[in-house]
Amino acid sequence: MCVTNTRTKRSALAIPTNLLAMGLGGSYPNLTAKAVSSLGPQSQSYQFGEAPKQTPQSTLPASFYNAMYSPKEAEAPVEAPVHQTPEPVQSQYPVVEPSCEKAPKKKRARRRKAQKPGKTAKLHDRHFVRHNYHDHSRDSELKVQVHEHKDEVCDGDHKPRRHGGVSIAFPVKLHDMLESIEGDGLGHIVSWQPHGRAFVVHKPKEFVEDVMPRYFRQSKLTSFQRQLNLYGFSRLTRGKDNGGYYHELFLKAKPFLSKQMKRTKVKGIGFKAASSPETEPDFYNMPPVLVTPSSSVG
């Protein structure tokens, strides 16, 4: 065994003392790969002439990097990565902001309670509306004309009598309006009921604004209601006909019957009569009004 060769190999593998004094640093161009491997696994990825990748977990001293590279490169500060905030993406749908306002509540229709016989608030005897309905849906126009002729003969006057100075009576105007209202596109405001024995004003506000000036030349709902009372119309207060008006001679497609309605003077009692739903006629249990060619002639 040669002692000289063994010492030579050991001296080649030994790390210089000046490098150890610098803390495993210093520029040493003849440093062998085996010596570099003894510095740790992180040193194997570095090559001479390249800047090392600094990681937060690195345990190598700073003097190692200062000795490996030039002073300018060592002193250059490492710029931290700039984290850019992503721009907000605009949605294709409009942004609806929440509203604190509450939706308006719909007002419920006020229902009147059925009143009992007794005294009113002003200590008057309570009167009720009387409903005494006779069915005239089977009456023919010829029968009505014969009845009129008999009345004129009994009175000794062959000329038709006129009541008042109005050329066209209110019931006739009202009947003509109801017969043509659907053709004018206003049937959603006022119309006949399905049985043809009563009519209902569905929208009072539009009725005053659009219908009354056109057919009656009036502008107040109270004037219209007064005419109904003068000609004997009665108001319904229950069921599907609630709020409607009827008269036994006021039937759909029978205008000749409306000509028999007389204007009467309403004798007031000082207060409004109370409704009596129990005595109101039930038109849905009666036969519907038949529309015949003879009955549609005015």
CA angle 133, 228, 132 (to 5 degrees): 15
Is the full-model pTM beyond 0.85?
A: no
DSSP letters for 147-177:
HHHHHHHHHT--SPP--SS-SS-HHHHHHHH
State whether 267 and 150 are in the same domain.
yes
Q: Is residue 18 a part of any domain in this protein?
A: yes
State whether 261 and 182 are in the same domain.
yes
State whether 67 and 170 are in the same domain.
no
Please state the domain count of the chain. 2
State whether 65 and 175 are in the same domain.
no
- Condensed to tens digits (0 to 9), the pLDDT of residues 270-296 reads 556 656 677 888 999 998 887 765 444
State whether 25 and 152 are in the same domain.
no
- Condensed to tens digits (0 to 9), the pLDDT of residues 203-243 reads 999 999 999 999 998 889 999 999 999 999 999 988 899 99
Q: Is residue 134 a part of any domain in this protein?
A: no
State whether 147 and 64 are in the same domain.
no
Neighbours of 105 (CB within 10 A): 6
Neighbours of 85 (CB within 10 A): 5
* CATH at residue 195: 1.10.10.10
Measured distance CA(218)–CA(196) in Å, rounded: 25
Domain carrying residue 270: 141-156+166-285
Q: Is residue 111 a part of any domain in this protein?
A: no
Q: Is residue 86 a part of any domain in this protein?
A: no
State whether 147 and 275 are in the same domain.
yes
Q: Is residue 29 a part of any domain in this protein?
A: yes
Q: Is residue 120 a part of any domain in this protein?
A: no
Q: Is residue 278 a part of any domain in this protein?
A: yes
- Condensed to tens digits (0 to 9), the pLDDT of residues 93-137 reads 666 666 666 666 666 655 556 555 656 555 555 554 666 888 988
